[in-house]
Chain A
């Protein structure tokens, strides 16, 4: 019998039955219907599975569900409220998303940065996103998306 874990995802309460070692990533994708969080490597290297766990940026492939018990989780699906967030709009405006597979993780890592630093410069953004691999963009337009996110989108 698998134990039950309670957690709050994007503000909504969930109770999931899972083996305690099961990855938070799999629980999100397979049990909670939140497939926006992606798997790119399964070894904490690419950041496609980034989520915020109690406000902290983590790779959800490296978090056993037992370590997320009672936690608040933010995934890409939780970024927009009624309309897109300024960060999401900025990604559209600056070409931050190409194939889109790294985009959810990038958005989450960037939103973690924007919580601590409202107007980060290019260097800071590059450092904050260093754990999120992208093969399409060469990062430049992603960096510009994050740097430009504080501006009210047109």
Chain B
């Protein structure tokens, strides 16, 4: 009997970089120091819109010792290359939002930089700014999804129409490590940037355009990254460009690290939204026609807004079957810093609306919230709003039942009804059922055409080469698990290379719940290709033991030098998408979930507390139970913040509460016990059967919590964040 290595997938293996993280040895960008470093700072606009008239440098500052960079110093194009290329890296004369970068300074002494940055005066000719996105008429992008014939249903006399408008606010990603980079650059050596980021190749692309350099003269290296959540998807291209320009001009490596105030005021947030729902239902609550108008505030530049809008649009109708659907969506321009990627990417906004609206329909029709959903759930063979036929086994009713049971829904709802009659603390339970598509939308993955490699080391171990970053979610660990199982070698024999564009292929960005499902599968294929090469060389028998594999690999390396396996993305044959009609298979796979929130509302203070939370989801095969659970609990907690605590206070287009004292995220005493249950329906195209998981948990908490508050108080609340001040306003208005 051969000794078999236990399967790594499905097992709690140790996090690859865990030890470095608990000893303080892990080096984040600000932990890296060199004697020759200069320190940079960004001088930003103080108005929302206008043009620069004059810049004054305080004569008390020894400017000769400083490096000062303006847009004129840019060797290539003054754009942050992403989708549209409309955003300048440094404003020339035109200002489109507060905190827009205008000037860069650097000096070897950090204190000198701090002192100097406060003295630069910029005068503006101010212009009228558009700050209310509902009043903006500059449309960055729009989509239209059509299924069936909505209008003829709305004309019918025998239907009930349910209408409402829902709002969501901006949300700060609030990774605890601020944005930061170190850059080294010269016309001889090209540009190298180290930094905290999700997507090294995005930064690579942006730097190439900025400096007009070929691929091999730009190098981007990700350092240990203290959280991203989307906030380090597109923004690092900006800060990397700034640091590189300073380094290019002053001839020294430049460190540019934001403090919290700058990071919060200047970088991206989740898009605020407004969603109008108009629904026709029959007397049993069956959805007959669904019309949704979805609007996002894009901020001052296009950045990733079209893609965020796309995901929000596709998810807008929720996990329900309806033959007649129309979704119209737009993202518009305002003079605030651009809104950008944040875990969920448009879906938390549109799903908030539909899940609030389902409770509203339930009330109008007079059935229970769980029942209205059950009557409308998508099933295997059913068609989504984009006419995607659900091929996989899908049992949303079963999923919902699990959540109802775990949360003790029925008993507690009855108990709370009694309790609320006499207590100043009102309790309630609320529900949300939803879906989240994994990977890039539609043809996105095909266009992206991600590549990965694995290499055999001379020690006989395997190194995974991808551009996908470990940002806390467990990339290093799951890739190693996938390879371990593909090659049937111990998990400990697999390492994951630091993402470095000079060494790893472009496996696409670390976003969109795609790292495990899409890239993980490529890693599996690359590992098998490598194994095939070993077998073909005659050094390894098929189904050899791990020790034989290792021996064969060492021999191969001695004999032939390098051994690598490669894989490139191939669109599964079942995925067909029409970009023109916005119709077809939006995603290769969806994760499905039913979340239940239990809340208390103190009627003395209007403070809401989430007392318990139940998260049941079907995510395909769970690769690493502990990491997966961590993703869900962490995502739910961000969702609790989104619903109840986190308000960006805008003043003239600028975040006014840009500090951790005034922008409130939940602490350990504000978060409940979160019960996490996974149902596993293996998805064949994913590694070991896995689907995406990262974004899903942000979609459900906000509507579940607000539905629970409605259950507790009997008032309707249709916007988040719902702070005590807002709840009081709603309650007083209803008095």
Chain A residues engaging chain B, CB cutoff 8 angstroms: 29-30, 34-43, 45-46, 48, 75-77, 79-80, 84, 88, 91-92, 94-104, 107, 125-127, 129-143
Contacts and interface: CB of A to CB of B under 8 A. Distances in A.
Contacts of B178: 40
Interface in B626-667: 626-627, 629-630, 633-638, 659-661, 665, 667
Given A101-B176, A137-B634, A139-B671, A92 B15 contact: yes
A103 B634 contact: no
Given A35-B28, A98-B630, 7 more contacts: A41-B659, A48-B176, A84-B23, A95-B629, A102-B176, A138-B633, A139-B668
B175 interface: yes
Contacts of A84: 19, 22-23
B647 to A, nearest CB: 16
19 contacts: A34-B24, A35-B33, A36-B25, A40-B260, A80-B23, A84-B19, A92-B18, A97-B21, A99-B176, A100-B22, A100-B26, A102-B176, A129-B668, A135-B175, A136-B472, A137-B630, A139-B668, A140-B671, A141-B629
Given A92-B22, A95-B626, A138-B637, A35 B31 contact: yes
Given A42-B260, A80-B23, A139-B637, A133 B660 contact: yes
Interface stretch (B155-163, B207-215, B224-232, B558-566): B224-232
Contacts of A102: 176, 226
B471 A99 contact: yes
B629 A103 contact: no
Contacts of A140: 633, 671, 673-674
A143 B626 contact: no
B473 interface: yes
Nearest to A143: B668
Contacts of B229: 135
A126 B23 contact: no
Given A76-B24, A138-B634, A138-B674, A130 B668 contact: yes
B668 A35 contact: no
Given A92-B18, A139-B637, A141-B630, A99 B226 contact: yes
A41 B23 contact: no
B669 interface: yes
Q: Which of A45, A46, A100, A143 has the most CB of B within 10 A?
A: A100
A102 B660 CA distance: 14
Given A101-B177, A137-B634, A79 B23 contact: yes
A131 B660 CA distance: 11
A99 B472 contact: yes
B680 interface: no
B541 interface: no
Given A130-B667, A133-B665, A45 B17 contact: no
Contacts of B634: 98, 135-138
A62 to B, nearest CB: 13
Contacts of B731: none
B668 A45 contact: no
Q: Which of A35, A76, A96, A130 has the most CB of B within 10 A?
A: A35
Contacts of A91: 18, 22
A101 B260 CA distance: 14
Contacts of B381: none
A76 B26 CA distance: 11
Contact of A35 (B24, B177, B226): B24
A7 to B, nearest CB: 18
B75 interface: no
Interface in B1-57: 14-15, 17-28, 30-31, 33
Q: Which of B15, B474, B634 has the most CB of A within 10 A?
A: B634
A48 to B, nearest CB: 6
Contacts of B28: 35, 38, 101
A75 B24 contact: yes
Contacts of A107: 22
Q: Which of B24, B473, B629 has the most CB of A within 10 A?
A: B24
Contact of A37 (B24, B226, B635, B673): B24
A36 B23 contact: yes
A102 B226 CA distance: 8
Contacts of B228: 99
B698 to A, nearest CB: 11
A92 to B, nearest CB: 5
A140 B175 CA distance: 18
Contacts of A97: 15, 18, 21-22
A136 B660 contact: no
A45 B659 CA distance: 9
A109 B734 CA distance: 45
A41 to B, nearest CB: 4
Contacts of B20: 100
B326 to A, nearest CB: 37
A39 B30 contact: yes
A38 B227 CA distance: 13
A44 B378 CA distance: 49
A104 B176 CA distance: 12
Q: Which of A79, A95, A96 has the most CB of B within 10 A?
A: A95
B145 interface: no
A103 B28 CA distance: 13
Nearest to A145: B22
Nearest to B226: A101
Contact of B669 (A79, A92, A126): A126
B259 interface: yes
Contacts of B22: 76, 79, 84, 88, 91-92, 96-97, 100, 103, 107
B661 to A, nearest CB: 5
A34 B25 CA distance: 9
Given A45-B659, A136-B227, A103 B668 contact: no
Given A99-B472, A135-B227, A139-B668, A41 B660 contact: yes
B176 A134 contact: yes
A142 B637 CA distance: 13
A46 B659 CA distance: 10
Contacts of A137: 630, 633-634, 637
Contacts of A38: 28, 30, 176-177, 226
